[in-house]
Each structure stands twice: as C-alpha cells, then as structure tokens.
Structure 1
Amino acid sequence: MSQLLSTSLGPVRLIGENATPIWGMPNAERNRRMAESAANNGRQLASGHELLFNLTYAFDPLLLTLVLETPGTVFTWGGAPIVGQVVQGTDPLTAAHVIDLSDGRRLYNRQLRKLEQPMVRELTPATRREIERRSYFGAYKGVTDLLTKYLWPELALVLTRIAAQLRMTPNMVSVIGVSLCLLATFLFAKGLYWTGFLSGFIFMVLDTVDGKLARCTITSSKWGNVIDHGVDLVHPPFWWYFWGTGLAYWGLQLPGATFAFVMTAVVAGYVLQRVIEGLFLKDFKMDIHVWRRFDSQFRLITARRNPNMVILFVALLFGRPDIGLVALAWWTVISLIVHAIRLAQAYAVARSGRPIISWMDEAEGQA
C-alpha cells in the first residue's frame, strides 16, 4: 500500500502504514517535515523523479541528504527499500544505485563531523524509545568539546524528550537558554560565581537541547539557527570579562596590567581562533577540527566556552577564581598557537600539491 503527498520538494510516495509515533508525531509527518526541510534548504528532485519513504522504518536524515544529491539512489535494508529518489511510478529496487545498509557500512556526515553507520530500524511500539535514543545521539556532532560529548548527553536526552512531548519548539528552548545566559553574565559581574555557574550550566545544557530538539523533530528554522549560533558566538568574552570584574567582590581583583593582559588574551585569542577556523573552512572546504585525528582530539579541550568553564570551576573549588581566569587566558593563548600552526601546516601541504582530506573521509574510503 502506498500514498502520494505533494510537498514543496515535489511528489513523495509513502509506502505502507505505521501508527507508532516518534518524537510525538506519526512517522508520515516526520518524513513530510524532512522533505519540506530539504526544500527550504534549496534541495530539489530531479525532473520526473519522486521521493520514496518506507513508513515501516525510521532512519538517519543523512540518508535523505544523500539520495537528493544523486538521483536514482535508493537505500535498502535487507532488500526492503527505506528511502530513495526514483523515477516516478517505478519499482525502487530497479533504481540505478541500490545500496543495502545492512552490510554495516559507515558513511561520513560532514554536517555533524562524524563517521558511522546510519541508523535504520523498524519502528514499532517496542523499538520506539530505542529509535528516539539513537536518532538523538545521531544528531550529536562527532567532533565537539568534552562536556558536550561526555558529561550531559543523557540529561539533554531527557529534556529533549520532555520538550517534544510538551510540543515546545526549539526557539522556546533557546529563549529560556538565552535568558539564563544573560542572568549568568549578571551574576558573574556581581561575584556570585556559584549561582552564576548554576545558571550557566543550565544554559549550556539547553544549548544542546534546542539543537537536538530541532533535528529530532525536524523543526529547524533559519532564524532559530541565527539566534542559536549568534548567542554561542558572542557571549563567551562577556562571561570572561564580567568574571574578571566580579573578582572585586572577593577581594581578588587583578592588578591593572594583569587584567589588561588577561582580557586581551581571552578576547583577541577567541576572535583569532574563530578567524583561523573561518580561513580553514574557506580555503579547504572543511572544518579545521576534522583534518587529522589530532585536530579532532584537540577539539575536546580547545579554549572554547565549555572547556574554559571547567578551568574556572576547578579554580573556584579552591577558592581562587582569579587564578582560574589567568589560567583561562594562558590556555586561550596556547590554543591559538596550536590552531595557527595547524593552519600554516595545511597551507604548506596544499602548496606541496597534496590534497587536504579529512581523516574521516579517508576512513570512510577504507571501510
């Protein structure tokens, strides 16, 4: 049994029926949202083709991206078509590129910077929670900081499920998070570091939740991404600056020359690291942190907000928030030097005529 849908992307054929909800919605609605999202991002079907979804299965959205890139591609699981772009009205198993994922092959997700076997699973009441869990972790970046990767995934999963059941949008979560971010900034300025840490911690977890909620429920929006990434980009230097001014309430304010060095290091170092990342992306068409394994491992601890908060937290445990800020400044300088060296090395490799290829692409080719 099949049904046809008309979407902004073009004709969509749904195979089968499935009443089991996923992330609070029917599988047919999830697939429709994926098609509309693809259209909103400029994707389109080839002339005379239709998109195919099998409602029996839930799958990683990466597969939809890949079939839209190559008309005539169908992903299957043990001979059952899962998702594909095929000539209208034809048997999907006769398509030009039929790829069976049940052999365990891994694919590289450039958006999330990771190499893994895409999730494909039959959606039933017994498998629903496992599928939600796998789709949630499937939305995690493979290359990120140590807190996001190891500390709060489980907590964020619970909050993402609650938000989905309450029909909250990612933007609602973002607004709550931004409010807590501003509150943390104010508390740091007043030297209320522990309270500020609590507010900042909740904000950092929600900063994960809004993105995962958007990906899992297929409700990403242009302005939501702008707000989310804009706040992430702008707020860290303000936290470090007001952490420094708040030291006066502890009687630990830094001398003028030391404070000037620290602020110059954390602000200039942060901005220059972002510039280096931008240059690498522009010139080599990939994130600097996925070039070599070292770069991916260094991303766990590089001087971004979350690793820097670990430094401040440890210093606060010993009652020395001033030393924590100085250590943060030196770590920012060290991270900047590492990134500058890696950028210079990449340019040297390119000048020698060798291609700049991600180690994940190489691993995918060897799989």
Structure 2
Amino acid sequence: MSTSTYIYIFGEIETKIWGLTGRERLQRMLKAREQVILIEDVEKIPSGAVALFLNANFLFDARVLTALLGMEKKTALYSDENCPAAIRTDGDQAQQLLRNLNNNKSQNYRFVLLTIPRIGLKDLHIDFQQNLKKKDPPYILPISEENRPLLEQELFSGSYKGVTDLVTKWIWPVPAFWATHYCVRQGWQPNHVTYLSVVLAVLAGVAFWFGFFGIGLLMGWFMTFLDTVDGKLARVTVTSSRFGDVLDHGLDIIHPPLWYLAWGVGLTSTLTPIAGLGILMWLMLIGYVGGRLCEGVFQFWLAHFDMFIWHKWDSFNRLITARRNPNLLLLTYGWLTGQPDFGLLLVVAWHLISTGILVWRLMTGWKTKQKEGSLKSWLQDVDPVRDREIWAVKIFTRAPINLKKPYPVSSN
C-alpha cells in the first residue's frame, strides 16, 4: 500500500525562469502527483511519515522528482555545488533538519546531513524519455540571475522531442523560443495558442478548398509553427490541461488528411484539375491511417516504446516520413513550381511509400521479437556524453548543459 510523501520546499531565490520562481515551478510540477502533500510547516509532518525537502534554489528535471518520490530510504541528493538539492527523511527528523538548514546558510550547507547517505544524479539511474522519444541527461541546476538565460534555453530545448520531423527539429526552435517568450510576457496560456491553431487549421482548409493555395499554405505553416509553440509553452511553464491536451492531439490527427482532400477539391477550380481525385484520396487515406496503425500496433503489441526509436535507421526515417510537415513541404514545392497537382500526387505517393516502409519495419519487429524475445530501443545503449561522436547521438540527443559556456537555442 502506497503512503503519502510530505513535501517541504525551502530556498529563497526569487529569480524567475520562464515566469516562475523555483518554488512556483516545484509547486506546479508536484500538483498533479499522487500521494504528495505540500506543507508550509514541518511540524505538520506526522511521526514516521516520509518527508522530502526540495531546494527551490535549483531547477529540477521532472525525472529527478519521480526518482526521489519512488525511493524508499533516507538520502540527500547533491549537485556539483556541494549543496543539498533534495533530502529524503522522515517526520521524526524533519524539524531538526530544518533547523540545521537554517543555521548553515552562510556555510553552504557543508555541515548539514552528516548522518544521511549522500548521492548524485548518476545514482538515480534515469532512463530515456519514451514520451518525448529522446535520451537527455537528467539535471538539477542552480538558479541565479546570471544563469537565467541558459536555464531558460535548457528548459526550452529539453521540451522538444528528440526524434521528430526535420522542420520541427531544425527550423522552428529559434523563432519558437522567442514566440514562447512573448507568450509568457503577455500572460498567454497554451490553450490560447491552441485555439488560434484551430482557427488557422480551418481557414487553411477553406483556402485550399477554393484554390487559394498560397494563402492556405501561409496559414498552414503558421498553424504548424503555433503547434510547436503551444507545446513548448505548456512544458516550460508547467501549464497543461486535459482538455488542451486532447484538443491539441486531436487536431494533429484530424486536420492533415482534410487539408489534402481540400487541396484536391481546390484543384478542380484551377487550370490543373487532377484526374481520378476520388481514387487518389482513398489511397492517401489508406496510407495515412495505415501509417498510424503501424505505429500503434508496434508500440502496444511489440514493444513499450515508439516505433521511431527502435533502431537509428527508424529515427532518421522519422525526419522525413509522411507526417504533416514533410507533406507540407511537398505541397509548397508543387505550388512554388506552378504544379499544385503534382504536389498532391507527391503527397499521396509519399504516404504510400512511407506506410510501406512502416509495414516492413513492423514485420521485421515481429520476427525479431519471435527470435530474441523482446525489442530494445537504440537509445537505451547510448550515453549522450560518452557517445557524442556518433552521428545519430549528435542529432537525436543533447549533451548536458554547461553553465560556463554559451548554450545555443536548439532542439538537439
């Protein structure tokens, strides 16, 4: 039977990272956690209860919090600064611990916690992030006004999926960083950006339907950009809602095939109508649904991880496979060259080719599982630091932040 963990947050730094102090960020990160009770007075921690002290002067990786909450022994997690970032103890020692922390501020905590085992990040054994398809080093980083720009860049870059399409990975990060900053300054919520994305998705489809391909592409690309911004805004400000998540992901699934259909209808009013539109649309839909099904079957039947992080080859395939952004590139090429019909033909062909590749990978995965018993992601075997010279590691993982060197805005 699981027991509650009482959380006490200490630390006084008021520097804001993406609009939040360290204390505010920790409170938001812990709000959705089960069996967690935030307290302001350590005397309210029952005798024998699990107590976790968190230092708000540090920026915490969510994976570190998860690991700390899952531990069963007393321990103190230290950073390179020789300061305790987190202390796991019990209600019997909580008051004495707080007195020690308060009395040793000027000595940087060096004489605190002499009887509690000391650990570092490497002792937490944190694995790759399946939800973001990546493996980045976990972190606890000291917050200061001097470090603020680098910490904001770290949080932003860390919010990107490691394995994604080439537009999201290499074109959007820099403008999205500044757009996210603007949203924070204006007090906009992620759902505000998502609502605008919905409007633009509808307007782009309408423009395609009536043959206004240039205007539709402009709105479509802006919509895909905002689709990046809303997710990054949610992660860096620890702001999310069930409704916003469903709306965002539902929009991502539904609108692409409707755009392609609208593009085809729009061609009938131009000088380049396309023959056999109905057949082409069915082929596109088969490719679109088939690709999604392959991904789902792989993850729920063959492995616990995403299809695109099985082998390095699969991760490179994700850069260009038939998803919305690569297909928008094909449509844009068709419009720029005065061949909007050819652009649509490329989209249909790319759907079928991409799905054929995914079917092949699905069959290969099934055979491999029958032979070896289980599948393993290539990310499990790499170290972002040790293996930095490997091309795939450079592209799909990030090295740890170095607070002493410039840290460029990037999703890598």
TM over 0.5: yes
Residue matched to 1:250: 270
CA distances 1:73-131 after superposition (whole Å, capped 9, x unpaired): 65431232324654442677866682245x9x985222211112234322111211221
The Cα of 1:27 is off from its aligned counterpart by: 1.6
Quote the Cα distance in structure 2 between the aligned partners of 1:63 and 1:227.
29
d(CA) in 2 for partners of 1:328 and 1:254? 13
Q: Name the structure 1 match of 2:119.
A: 98
Q: Distance in 1 between matches of 2:216 and 2:61?
A: 37
CA distance in 1, matches of 2:113, 2:186: 37
Please point out which of 7, 11, 14 is paired with 2:6. 11
Gaps of 5+ in 1: 1-8
Per-residue deviation, residues 176-228 of structure 1 (Å, max 9, x unmatched): 11111111010111111111111111111111111111111111111111111
CA distance in 1, matches of 2:357, 2:37: 41
Partner of 2:194: 174
1:80 partner letter: C
Of the two structures, which has the highest relative contact order with CA contacts closer than 8 Å and spacing of 6 or more? 2
Q: Hey, what's the Cα distance between the residues in 2 that align with 1:281 and 1:152? A: 28
Q: CA RMSD in A?
A: 2.5
**Alpha-carbon contact 2:135-2:384 (below 8 Å) kept:** no
Aligned-partner SS, 2:291: helix
273, 291, 311: which one aligns with 2:310: 291
Task: Give 1 or 2: higher strand fraction.
Answer: 1
Aligned pairs (5 A) from 1:114-153: 114-153=134-173
Q: Structure 2 regions of 5+ residues with no counterpart?
A: 39-47, 98-111, 387-412
Residue range with higher mean Cα deviation, 17-26 or 114-123: 114-123
Deviates more, 1:111-120 or 1:351-360: 111-120
Give CA-to-partner distance per residue, 1:235-286, whole Å, 9 cap, x none. 1100000011111232211113xx2332122111111111111111112111
Question: Are positions 1:332 and 2:351 aligned together?
Answer: yes
1:5 maps to which residue?
none
Distance 2:346 2:25 in 1: 47
Question: In the alignment, which residue of structure 1 is the partner of 2:256?
Answer: 236
Give 1:3's aligned residue: none
1:18-69 CA-partner distances (Å, limit 9, x unpaired): 1111211222111100000333xx8899x82233321221132222233233
- Percentage identity across aligned positions? 34
Helix, strand or coil at the partner of 2:32: helix
User: Which amino acid counterpart does residue 55 of structure 2 have in structure 1?
Assistant: N
Q: Of the candidates 262, 265, 285, which is equivalent to residue 280 of structure 2?
A: 262
Q: Partner letter of residue 279 of structure 1?
A: V
Cα distance in 2 for partners of 1:329, 1:92 equals 64
Which structure: larger Rg? 2
**Counterpart position of 1:77:** 79
User: Over residues 319-357 of structure 1, what are the superposed CA-to-partner deviations in whole Å (9 max), with x where a residue is unaligned?
Assistant: 101001101111111100111111111111111134201
Matches within 5 A, 1:182-201: 182-201=202-221
Residue equivalent to 1:28: 23
Q: Distance in 1 between matches of 2:114 and 2:321?
A: 47
Contact 1:290 1:359 (C-alpha < 8 Å) held by counterparts = yes
Matched pairs, number: 352
TM-score w.r.t. the length of structure 2 is 0.79
Q: Which deviates further from its counterpart, 141-150 or 356-365?
A: 356-365
